[in-house]
């Protein structure tokens, strides 16, 4: 299990304004944020690979995406 402590009063105040004290909502939003960051990272890697001439067929790309995110 991962435990995160926030030592930023402004950020803590913002989180409490948006989510109250509902830890389940905070956790869910954090998971969504981390997943989005991973997708952005994957897209960045893909762009770098494409720029380097390492392109995949659309069928293989879609197969990889389904395997990773479904």
* Res 70 pLDDT > 80: no
Question: Of 35, 29, 30, 19, nearest to 69 (Cα)?
Answer: 35
Distance of CA 46 to CAs 13, 39, 42, 51, 67, Å? 37, 10, 6, 9, 16
The answer to whether 12 touches 6, Cβ cutoff 8 Å, is yes
Write out pLDDT tens, residues 2-59.
888 999 999 999 999 999 999 999 999 999 999 999 999 988 998 898 889 888 888 8
The per-residue pLDDT for 68 is: 82
Global pTM value: 0.66
Here the tokens at position 40 are 């952005």
């Amino acid at each position: 299990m991962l435990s995160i402590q926030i030592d930023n009063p402004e950020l803590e105040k913002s989180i409490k304004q948006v989510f109250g004290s509902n830890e389940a909502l905070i956790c869910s939003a954090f998971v969504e944020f981390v997943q989005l960051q991973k997708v952005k990272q994957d897209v960045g890697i893909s762009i770098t690979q494409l720029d380097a001439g390492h392109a995949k067929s659309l069928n293989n790309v879609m197969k990889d995406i389904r395997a990773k995110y479904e």
